[in-house]
Chain A
Amino acid sequence: MTQANSTNEPVAIKGRSWLSAVGQSLRLVAGDSFALAGLTILFAFIVIAILAPYISPYEPFKAMMTETGRLNRLSPPTSAHLLGTTSFGNDVLSQFLHGFRIALLVGLVAAVAVGFISTVVGVISGYFGGYVDDILMRITDIALSIPTLPFAIVAVALLGPSVENIILVITILFWRNGARIIRSAVLTERERVYVKWARAAGASHFQIIMRHILPNIVRVIFLWVTMSVAFAVLTEASLSFLGLGDPTVVSWGQMLNTAFSSGNLRTAWWWVIPPSVALVMLVSSLYLIGRAYEEQTNPRLRVRK
């Protein structure tokens, strides 16, 4: 590396390609068997979420009737209702399958929004420094003192419980940690020799950020977006479990809330177990991916071979 600073080595003024940076991130993750399992589960969940309306046997909120014309309440799994029915006579399997959509929709949209805001704040703060940095970081400090779920509870109640508002509140809550992490990554990148060279060569701030800073912090952003998906899924599920979710759509948290508040936790295992297990699988997969990623990119954690 020291030799690269001498004359003949062409130091990468061109910067890295975005594609290669992202590709490298994926390769890193695929090297870890736990993370690979996580990726597989995540992929399967996405497929189910896309197919949910086509493969679910009934409308999620349709009341099922028995042959005698009465509401088919709390039926254990049967061939007609593979996962039984709820106390309102809804088909659990159909609700469960629709739950994939909400979880992933909220998770992915909120994570992209969080990733975007964190990156903008982190890069501006880290790259320009000075007063801008001071002000943005003080704001982050204050944001870090806001209790997350209580804020979400109050904000969603005031704004009205809809999927859009939930995504908005999650975004407001989780940009703060990401901004700090990305800022410190930018601080390291900013001091690199090639950034100084690029600046000396007359590149504009925008060019330097796009070509030299961002491609090199892609892995930090990637890690933060992965974790944000998990936080968003968890927050949506918690809100729905507390009865503050969007009442017009089905989500896993809401299913558990209905089972819990109707007092059927113990008996209606077919109603409780699927959403619980799916939530655990989804969030754990994301954490496994994130952890493998951290492990691979932190040189002090890597196994020395």
Chain B
Amino acid sequence: MRAYILRRLAQSVLVVWAVTTIMFFMFRVMPADPTAMLLERGLSEQAREKLLQEWGLTGTLWDQYIAYLANILQGDFGNSFLYRKPVWDVLTPLIINTLWIAVPGLLLGAALGAVLGTAVGWARRGGKLERMGIFLATVIRGVPNFVIGIALLTIFSSTLGWFPEFGMGDPGDRTGFARYFTLEFLHHLALPLIAVIIYFMPENLLLMRSGVVENRTEDYIELVRAKGVPQSRVAWHAARNSMLPLITWLFPALAETIAGIVVIEIVFSWPGVGRELVFAVSRQDYPLAQAAFFLLAVMIVLANLAADLVYGKLDPRVVYK
């Protein structure tokens, strides 16, 4: 078990390395003048030289790559052009904001999808509930996340005025974690969170439903029925077994979803990493963009790792080697 976790960690490190390498090529090789991308315009020639030296942007591509990796290993992604401070100072407070909508959103979306998916999967084949469930889930899955956001915003905040239109609310004089435990914060959190849930839920629902439909004709379900346990308990057995493919599916899905949160952050002006990435890109603040992209990639790698370990917990047949 320990050996397995260590190996998976090593694999994750490898993936992160690959992603940083891709990033290196994206940011330095694709644009015509790589230095222009990383250095602020309007610098004096001297200051420019100095910065180039500092950042290892001189020498061959290989030298640059080594310098780049060395910087990243030290956690040094440089300074933001716009904020004029180290990128981590900008991004650190934003990480927790992104997690505030991402983690509960994904968990609630998955849970709700699993419950509804079990209900639809357990319904009579070809019946009304099954057909309606599949239809609605498929159509909702087809709604782009910014359309979900726009709809929630126009209906519940602009028109009905139940929820604030943007941002996280004013923390006032509260600092640290206390700022997250106010009614005002939760009030601001509600709509973006709902948007993430609606965005993430339908695919979970459909996948869970397929799993339950496949499992309900298995022999072991017949024996559970024969035992005379309540129907809900029989459905639970089918659902419990269907969670296994659901979790393997979460792997690529998380990448899509964390990515999709970027758009939701924009719609609700939620100050998270994704929104900062879009801002950084449109203001050509490349060090910041690079760091934000790196952060999102690491989040996905970590989510994968978590999914893998949870799978082992849920399926006794998995042997960690």
A and B touch in the complex (CB under 8 A): yes
Which residue of A159, A177, A241, A276 is within 8 Å of B263 (Cβ)?
A241
Chain A 124-148 near chain B by CB (<8 Å), digits 1 or 0: 0000000000000000011011111
Of A154, A158, A242, A286, most buried by chain B (CB within 10 Å of CB) is A154
Interface check A303, CB cutoff 8 A: yes
Does any Cβ of B come within 8 Å of A237's Cβ? yes
Indicate if B234 sits at the interface (CB-CB under 8 A). Answer: no
Complex CA–CA separation, A280 to B139 (angstroms): 7
Q: Does A157 contact B (CB under 8 A)?
A: yes
> How far in angstroms is the closest Cβ of chain B from A149?
4
Does A170 have its Cβ within 8 Å of any Cβ on chain B? no
Q: By the criterion CB–CB under 8 Å, are A265 and B158 in contact?
A: yes
Q: How far is the CB of A240 from chain B (nearest CB, A)?
A: 10
B12 → chain A closest CB, angstroms: 9
The reply to whether A146 and B19 form a contact with Cβ atoms under 8 Å apart is yes
Interface residues of B in 92-143 (CB under 8 A from A): 125-126, 131, 134-135, 138-139, 141-143
A266 at interface, CB cutoff 8 A: yes
Min CB–CB distance A157 → chain B (angstroms): 4
Minimal Cβ-Cβ distance residue in A for B157: A266
- CB-defined contacts of B296 to chain A, threshold 8 Å: 147, 150
On chain A, the residues within 8 Å of B159 by CB distance are 266
CA distance A304 to B141 in the complex (A): 27
The answer on a CB contact under 8 Å between A256 and B300 is no
- A244 at interface, CB cutoff 8 A: yes
Q: Is B304 on the interface with A (CB-CB < 8 A)? A: yes
Closest Cβ of chain A to B261, distance in Å, is: 9
A281 partner residues in chain B, CB cutoff 8 A: 142
**Nearest CB on B from A137, distance (A):** 13
A272: chain B residues within 8 A (beta carbon): 150, 154
Decide yes or no: A147 and B259 within 8 Å by CB, A142-B18, A154-B281, A283-B144 being known contacts. yes
Contacts known (A146-B22, A150-B293, A265-B153); A280 close to B143, Cβ less than 8 A: yes
Q: Is A291's CB within 8 Å of the partner chain B? A: yes
Q: Which residues of B contact A282 (CB under 8 A)?
A: 142
B262 to chain A, nearest CB (A): 5
A139, chain B: closest CB distance, angstroms: 9
* Residues 6-46 of A contacting B (Cβ, < 8 Å): 34
Supposing A34-B138, A145-B255, A241-B263 touch, asked if A279 and B292 sit within 8 A by C-beta, the answer is: no
Contacts of B210 in A (CB 8 A): 294, 298, 301
Once the chains bind, are B27 and A147 in contact (CB under 8 Å)? no
Indicate with 1 or 0, residue by residue over A270-305, a CB within 8 angstroms of chain B CB atoms: 001000100111111111100100100010110110
Are the CB atoms of A145 and B263 closer together than 8 Å?
no
> Residue B281 contacts which of A157, A285, A294, A304 (CB distance < 8 angstroms)?
A157
Pairwise interchain contact B297-A280, C-beta atoms closer than 8 A: no
Given A145-B255, A301-B210: A288 and B263 interface contact (C-beta under 8 Å): no
Distance (whole angstroms) from the CB of A121 to the closest CB of chain B: 16
Q: Indicate whether B214 reaches chain A with its CB closer than 8 angstroms.
A: yes
Q: Cβ of B138 and Cβ of A142 under 8 Å apart?
A: no
Return chain B residues, CB-CB under 8 Å to A155. Answer: 26, 30
Q: Please indicate the chain B residues that have their CB under 8 angstroms from the CB of A144 in the complex.
A: 251-252, 255
Q: Is the CB of B292 within 8 A of A301?
A: no
Q: Is the CB of A280 within 8 A of B154?
A: no
* A145-B297 in contact (CB<8A): yes
Is B198's CB within 8 Å of the partner chain A?
no
Q: How far is the CB of B74 from chain A (nearest CB, A)?
A: 22
| Chain A residues within 8 Å of B259, by CB | 147-151
Residue B189 CB within 8 A of the other chain: no
User: Which B residues are CB-close (under 8 A) to A260?
Assistant: 146, 150, 267
Residues of B with C-beta under 8 A to A242: 262-263, 266, 278
Q: Which of B138, B282, B301 contacts A288 (CB 8 A)?
A: B138
Across the two chains, which residue of chain B brings its CB closest to A272?
Answer: B150
Contact residues in B for A151 (Cβ distance below 8 Å): 259, 293
CB distance A142 to B26 under 8 Å? Answer: no
Q: A171 interface residue, CB < 8 Å from B?
A: no
| Chain A CB within 8 A of B151 CB | yes
Q: For the complex, give the distance between the alpha carbons of A106 and B133 in Å.
A: 30
List the 5 closest A-B pairs by CB distance, nearest first.
A284-B142, A149-B259, A283-B142, A266-B158, A142-B18
- Chain B residues proximal to chain A, CB less than 8 Å: 15, 18-19, 22, 26-27, 30-31, 37, 125-126, 131, 134-135, 138-139, 141-147, 150-151, 153-154, 158-159, 206, 210, 213-214, 217, 251-252, 255-256, 258-260, 262-263, 266-267, 274, 277-278, 281-282, 284, 289, 292-293, 296-297, 299-301, 304
Interface residues of A (CB under 8 A from B): 34, 141-142, 144-151, 153-155, 157-159, 177, 230, 234, 237-238, 241-244, 253, 256, 260, 265-266, 272, 276, 279-288, 291, 294, 298, 300-301, 303-304
Q: A151-B259, A301-B213 are in contact. List 9 more A-B contacts (CB 8 A).
A: A142-B18, A238-B146, A256-B147, A260-B146, A276-B147, A279-B147, A283-B143, A288-B138, A300-B213
